[in-house]
């Protein structure tokens, strides 16, 4: 069953990820940049919650796929776009090297490309897909545990993620990369748990957006206090973000549950953003980087300084990314790159960002 409130949350998360990457350059320069970046810290873990929700909800009432069946059905939907975009971003960052060395320079990119594929480092946002691969590998095992012992799985995953995030926050040297799944496991499991108990959650949250919003604001205040006391701004991996993300999801769900049936223009726009969220996520850093380079090249970079320039940059990058995504939706080749082909949209369920 199509859950439009979940689609709206996905669309909001896509817009929030763009905001994080725009404001990252302004965190140390403007108060608004620091505040906006911190408010958007729910974005990445929110996508992980949505991924767990969508996977578990899609199997409700059906015979669960075997481990290999699940991997064959799901992994390629993330793996193919990941490989293509990694290669594209490798060529992009090596463009000056290739101009200097021509075709003879391509073999020298072989080893760095393999490293980028393994670590998700071709560009700053691709690490998210490395997390996704790990969670996909674990999903059939987590699904079975969720069916048998949901409370144990939820509690255990919370302890694992709380420990991993505390270790990263305190700079304990465990040798764990931020992409290691324990940092994100709880969000994924919570999404599954929410899907398993959807009717109960819907009853509890319906009509309570105002009260939940107050608690959500309290968690945001705690997040700001954490940043102020620790001077750790622009971090998505810290315990205060865990609380803030959970309350953000519950608040957004309660809000969008009230307007899920809207036929207004913004509702249709959110439907489209949700359907194309994967491609928007993969494409927008390239748009941002190209646009920033061109503005500096032609002497317009200073126009985007300060808070006003940051807002203008966000609007411009978002509009250009969405325009390019809309154009790509008419081309069948958009599918392996993570997009949704317009002529087949009636048969396609919107992808979560699996940001």
Q: What is the pLDDT of residues 228-250, one digit of tens each?
A: 999 988 888 999 999 999 999 99
Number of domains in the chain: 1
CB of 193 closer than 8 Å to CB of 146: yes
What integer pLDDT is reported at residue 355 of this predicted model?
Answer: 45
Q: Please report whether residue 355 resides in a domain.
A: no
Q: Dihedral sign for Cα 156, 17, 86, 348, please.
A: positive
Token pair listed for 3? 């859950």
CB of 6 closer than 8 Å to CB of 198: no
Tell me the percentage of the chain whose pLDDT exceeds 90: 80
Query: How far is residue 146's CA from residue 152's CA, in Å, rounded to a whole number?
Result: 8
pLDDT at 340 over 70: yes
What integer pLDDT is reported at residue 106 of this predicted model?
Answer: 80
Q: Please report whether residue 354 resides in a domain.
A: no
DSSP secondary structure code for residue 99 in this structure: H
pLDDT at 309 over 90: yes
Q: Please report whether residue 277 resides in a domain.
A: yes
Q: Please report whether residue 352 resides in a domain.
A: no
What integer pLDDT is reported at residue 345 of this predicted model?
Answer: 44
What integer pLDDT is reported at residue 191 of this predicted model?
Answer: 98
Which residues constitute the domain of residue 51?
Answer: 4-347
CB of 128 closer than 8 Å to CB of 47: yes
Q: Please report whether residue 135 resides in a domain.
A: yes
Rg (CA), the chain: 20
Residue with tokens 């694992």: 160
pLDDT at 346 over 80: no
Query: How far is residue 310's CA from residue 34's CA, in Å, rounded to a whole number?
Result: 11
DSSP secondary structure code for residue 173 in this structure: -
What b/e readout covers 100-136, taking b as 16+ CB neighbours within 10 angstroms? eeeeeeeeebeeebeebbeebbbbebbbbbbbbbbbb
Token pair listed for 255? 């809000």
What integer pLDDT is reported at residue 350 of this predicted model?
Answer: 52
User: What average pLDDT does this structure show over 239-268?
Assistant: 94
């Amino acid at each position: 069953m199509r859950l439009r409130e979940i689609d709206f949350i996905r669309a909001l998360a896509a817009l929030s990820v763009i905001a994080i990457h725009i404001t990252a350059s302004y965190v140390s320069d403007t108060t608004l940049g620091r505040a906006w970046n911190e408010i958007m810290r729910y974005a990445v873990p929110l996508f992980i919650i949505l991924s767990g929700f969508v996977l578990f909800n899609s199997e409700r009432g059906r015979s669960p796929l075997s481990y290999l069946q699940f991997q064959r059905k799901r992994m390629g939907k993330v793996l193919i776009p990941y490989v293509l975009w990694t290669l594209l971003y490798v060529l992009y960052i090596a463009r000056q090297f290739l101009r200097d060395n021509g075709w003879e320079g391509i073999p020298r990119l072989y080893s760095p490309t393999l490293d980028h594929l393994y670590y998700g480092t071709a560009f700053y946002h691709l690490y998210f897909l490395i997390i996704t691969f790990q969670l996909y590998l674990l999903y059939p095992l987590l699904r079975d545990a969720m069916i048998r012992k949901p409370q144990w799985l939820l509690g255990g995953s919370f302890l694992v993620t709380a420990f991993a995030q505390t270790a990263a926050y305190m700079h304990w040297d465990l040798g764990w990369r931020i992409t290691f799944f324990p940092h994100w496991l709880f969000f994924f499991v919570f999404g599954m748990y929410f899907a398993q108990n959807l009717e109960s959650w819907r009853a509890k949250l319906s009509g309570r957006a105002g009260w939940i919003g107050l608690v959500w604001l309290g968690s945001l205040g705690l997040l700001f206090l954490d940043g102020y006391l620790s001077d750790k701004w622009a971090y998505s991996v810290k315990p205060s973000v865990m609380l803030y993300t959970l309350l953000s999801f519950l608040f957004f769900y309660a809000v969008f549950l009230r307007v899920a049936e809207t036929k207004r223009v913004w509702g249709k726009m959110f439907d489209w953003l949700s359907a194309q969220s994967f491609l928007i996520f993969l494409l927008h850093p390239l748009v941002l980087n190209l646009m920033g380079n061109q503005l500096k090249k032609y002497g317009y970079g200073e126009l985007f300084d300060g808070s006003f320039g940051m807002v203008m940059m966000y609007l411009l990058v978002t509009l250009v990314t969405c325009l390019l995504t809309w154009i790509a939706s008419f081309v069948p080749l958009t599918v392996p790159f993570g997009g949704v082909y317009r002529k087949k949209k009636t048969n396609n369920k919107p992808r979560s960002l699996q940001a």
